[in-house]
Structure 1
Amino acid sequence: MAAPRMPPARLSGVMVPAPIQDLEALRALTALFKEQRNRETAPRTIFQRVLDILKKSTHAVELACRDPSQVEHLASSLQLITECFRCLRNACIECSVNQNSIRNLDTIGVAVDLVLLFRELRVEQDSLLTAFRCGLQFLGNIASRNEDSQSIVWVHAFPELFMFLIITDHFLKSPELVEAMYSKLSNQERVTLLDIMIAKLVGDEQLTKDDISIFLRHAELIANSFVDQCRNVLKLTSEPNTEDQEALATIRLLDVLCEMTSNTELLGYLQVFPGLMERVIDVLRVIHVIGKDTTNIFSPSDSLKAEGDIEHMTEGFKSHLIRLIGNLCYKNKENQDKVNELDGIPLILDSSNIDDNNPFMMQWVVYAVRNLTEDNSQNQDFIAKMEEQGLADASLLKKMGFEVEKSGEKLILKPNNDIPPP
């Protein structure tokens, strides 16, 4: 690939790169690296040149950190830094050769140090935030599916940068970095990150289009992690008094999924996520059975807690599984049918007992049944036949806001006027 030339300019007899020419050349490279063939043929010398520009531009940031009066002169340096990060970010997309070349130049260390310097600048500038975001995107891309790069990012960025990013929720704004580094976080750090996700999803401010785009990327990580790890919660049946951080992180994954599927713009993606519905039904079935067969942490409790009693980490876990099933079935016939095929309907109906360990269980069961039966005559018939055969309690169905009527030889499940709110 023929790289754009970066001609030098003379200043006081010393050869230095001309900022405007550097910026134009970097922008040209950034555009070229959008194509895979250009990434695969990029010579290592280009990345050394970009690193040199990045280092020189960093001096202006260091000066502004020491002398706040210099902040007003940062504009051109921040432009160069941003474009360096964009260029390197694009070069790393699905290209392990470039990831390795850039990493071996110690670019990761320079980038992390620079992002940490940004934190010390007490200014509110869009240009600074853009440079900050592009720096995180670069770190995410160079670490993506590259264990050697992940290790180097971890060495340079942990704990100071990661703790700062997680607490201030900047980490959320870089899905590439979250995905690359999630496996390296401790379970306690994962819980903190997931709590911040929940706070963002349920906050008073509506998610912007950019937020939705970011959370769609997060949704893949969260759903995959839950599918892989959800059975970790079952260990609590044998160790009921253990505050297991791994199990708690898994429970938080479920909480995040419940909130994500409550957002219509995120719901569609998760409704078709491979294996998610199957895994949710599987875990619900296991904890339901073991909760009925023996006395353990998943057994229903109808005794109210005394004031001051400590809540256990699994409180609400079962009802949230049913909530997630209801969300995934919302106006989605394929998932409605899938729950029926997996024998999930009797399981949901049998979970409607009062359970102090799962507040609002009845409401979530009602919500799930309504979403399972809406415009789905097969599921309606199935529940009606369960009632006729004595497999579903008519009084329970009535409490849930449904009743079974007979029309000729056909049984019809219909909502009555006493449907409790979800």
Structure 2
Amino acid sequence: MAAFRNDNLDASASVAGILNEKRCPEHLQVLKTFTAALRDKEYRDAVDREAFSRLLKALSGLCDELQAASSEDKDLQSVPLQLQLVAECFRAQRNACVQSTRNQSLLRELGFIDVSLKLLSLLQTTNVENRDDIFEPLRCGIQFLGNLAVGNQECKDDIWLLSFPNVLLQLLSVDDEKAVNYASMVLHTCLDEAKVEELAEPQNIQLALRVMELCRIQPDLDWTVLIAAQHFLKSSALVESMYSGMSHQERVTLLELLFAQLREEDTDECGVPPSVARFLASSFQKGCGAVLTLACGSTSSDEVLQEALTVISLLDVLCEMTSDLRQFMFLQNHPDLLVTTVELLEQVHAIGKASKNIFSASQSFSSFSGEGDSSPVISFKAHLIRLIGNLCHSNTDNQNKVRELEGIPLILDNCSIDSNNPFISQWAIFAIRNLLEHNTQNQELVAALERRGTADYSALKELGLQVVERDGSLLLKPVRRDS
């Protein structure tokens, strides 16, 4: 082992030989030897400060040469070799940081972060015949930043200070999926609560929006999804700022991620703050009328369709939030949310009955067998009823409010099978159950509707109830098992 270690130390010393010489392939081999030596933990722990100082000087020299070649369009023939040398320097730096807090701190103190970031920015404007030559050093340089940051708060803070927001935004916009993935990893590693709040500021919001764009166009990039789920969705300031600057299509992506977060996390630990729920409820109330324009069919523009899809996604999130997630049940008292939902259900139901359109009930199940295009409002009416049921659960004031808005017969009128609204009858039964529970006035209303023949008795039977007359009054009673 001693002989091997001596060879490695010779390799680090030989880096000094390339500092004042014209670039040649032999220099690349010297760097490769140094990079290989750094894979050995014993050697990594033994490399002295001077070896890294020489590496930094080599990296700085390459940065100056590339900058000169790029600005003056001269000596472009040497650029491919310089790019290979840059990549190899980055590999050496990357290897030096593996499981070595000492080397991380040493490279930070020597100034590697600043020079590396300058090179990464410069690489994206370097004029080369083959753009693929740029990607290798970009990938290696970004990987170095990632290894430097892992488990080292001072390195994380310095990378953030020197790269936020412009350089990080550049790296997330590179036309290379691997480089973008590595850059996402660096961002994820550096982020904390305070840095997320910085992202919410208007001058920095483009970086957050780029992350969300990547979630939409490259959903297989796990790091961007993790950034959104573990950091972005936990900041109400950032969510509101992003939402305001997003297209409707991007808003749908944000809401889909939020929906998945609500479903996957522990019911009491989803991390989404109450203020986000309030903001989304208000956004639903403000924009819900856009869905009604879909009744026009082909006359609806793509922008109108995207706006309507945003409303549909907002409704899905609100349904999930109010489905027995205790931290969001305050939405039962959100001003006029229940009123808006009942009135929207009334409008959608009336439009669907007035003429044949996208909101009309259907008994055709072809869309579920893969035939034809799926309707954008599939389950929308059912989810409106679901939200009403959630908002009325164990809440007498809301039960009474729905009765006053004449919402009970409206819900009872939606107990039939509708292929455009799978499980609508089940959600209607659920809502009626929540509306009748411990509410005598609502029970009496339903009983009176049944007597006049305007209530769907099958829905009551599903609830295990029947209407009986006693002393001139109509009451709801449990159905006997033998009846």
Shorter-chain TM-score: what band? 0.5 to 0.7
Correspondence 1:348 to 2:411: yes
Correspondence 1:163 to 2:163: no
In structure 2, how many angstroms separate the alpha carbons of the residues matched to 1:417 and 1:84? 71
The residue aligned with 2:286 is 228
In structure 2, how many angstroms separate the alpha carbons of the residues matched to 1:196 and 1:67? 26
In structure 1, the gaps of 5 or more residues are 1-52, 89-105, 144-148
How far residue 415 of structure 1 moved from its aligned partner, in angstroms, is: 3.9
Superposed counterparts of 1:83-162, under 5 Å: 108-109=165-166, 120=182, 129=189, 131-140=191-200, 142-143=201-202, 149=203, 153-154=205-206, 158-159=209-210, 161-162=211-212
The residue aligned with 1:214 is 272
Select the residue among 420, 427, 433 that pairs with 1:364: 427
Select the residue among 249, 252, 269 that pairs with 1:191: 252
Structure with the bigger percentage of helix: 2
DSSP-derived class of the 2:191 partner: helix
Deviation track 1:38-79 (CA, whole Å, cap 9, x = no partner) reads xxxxxxxxxxxxxxx9xx895398499628678666479634
CA contact (8 A) 1:223 1:276 kept: yes
Correspondence 1:285 to 2:346: yes
CA contact (8 A) 1:355 1:361 kept: yes
Describe the shift of the 1:383–1:71 C-alpha distance in structure 2 as closer, same or farther (beyond 3 A). closer
The residue aligned with 1:319 is 382
Aligned residue type for 1:272: N
CA contact (8 A) 2:353 2:360 kept: yes
CA contact (8 A) 2:450 2:456 kept: yes
In structure 1, how many angstroms separate the alpha carbons of the residues matched to 2:112 and 2:346? 58
CA contact (8 A) 1:402 1:413 kept: yes
The residue aligned with 1:249 is 310
How far residue 369 of structure 1 moved from its aligned partner, in angstroms, is: 0.3
In structure 2, how many angstroms separate the alpha carbons of the residues matched to 1:299 and 1:122? 45
In structure 2, how many angstroms separate the alpha carbons of the residues matched to 1:409 and 1:331? 29
How far residue 359 of structure 1 moved from its aligned partner, in angstroms, is: 1.1
In structure 2, how many angstroms separate the alpha carbons of the residues matched to 1:238 and 1:122? 42
Deviation track 1:123-154 (CA, whole Å, cap 9, x = no partner) reads 79xx97463553222212x23xxxxx4xx633
Describe the shift of the 1:256–1:60 C-alpha distance in structure 2 as closer, same or farther (beyond 3 A). farther
How far residue 121 of structure 1 moved from its aligned partner, in angstroms, is: 6.5
DSSP-derived class of the 2:282 partner: helix
- The more displaced of 70-79 and 130-139 is 70-79
In structure 2, how many angstroms separate the alpha carbons of the residues matched to 1:60 and 1:112? 18
Describe the shift of the 1:81–1:325 C-alpha distance in structure 2 as closer, same or farther (beyond 3 A). same
Describe the shift of the 1:82–1:330 C-alpha distance in structure 2 as closer, same or farther (beyond 3 A). farther
- The more displaced of 346-355 and 315-324 is 346-355
Deviation track 1:345-388 (CA, whole Å, cap 9, x = no partner) reads 11111122221111111111100000001111111111112222
How far residue 414 of structure 1 moved from its aligned partner, in angstroms, is: 3.0
How far residue 310 of structure 1 moved from its aligned partner, in angstroms, is: 2.2
Describe the shift of the 1:165–1:179 C-alpha distance in structure 2 as closer, same or farther (beyond 3 A). farther
Select the residue among 46, 59, 67 that pairs with 2:114: 59
Describe the shift of the 1:112–1:412 C-alpha distance in structure 2 as closer, same or farther (beyond 3 A). same
The residue aligned with 1:401 is 464
CA contact (8 A) 2:464 2:479 kept: yes
Deviation track 1:94-138 (CA, whole Å, cap 9, x = no partner) reads xxxxxxxxxxxx9754775799999637979xx974635532222
In structure 2, how many angstroms separate the alpha carbons of the residues matched to 1:385 and 1:196? 45
Aligned residue type for 2:431: A
Give me the TM-score of the superposition, normalised by structure 2: 0.59
Select the residue among 311, 316, 320 that pairs with 1:259: 320
DSSP-derived class of the 2:477 partner: strand
How far residue 405 of structure 1 moved from its aligned partner, in angstroms, is: 1.7
Correspondence 1:202 to 2:263: yes
In structure 1, how many angstroms separate the alpha carbons of the residues matched to 2:166 and 2:214? 17
CA contact (8 A) 1:302 1:355 kept: yes
Once superposed, which parts of structure 1, at least 4 consecutive aligned residues long, lie more than 4 Å away? 60-65, 67-77, 80-85, 110-119, 121-124, 240-243
Q: Work out which of the two has the higher radius of gyration on C-alpha atoms and give 1 or 2.
A: 2
Give me the TM-score of the superposition, normalised by structure 1: 0.67
Describe the shift of the 1:257–1:57 C-alpha distance in structure 2 as closer, same or farther (beyond 3 A). farther
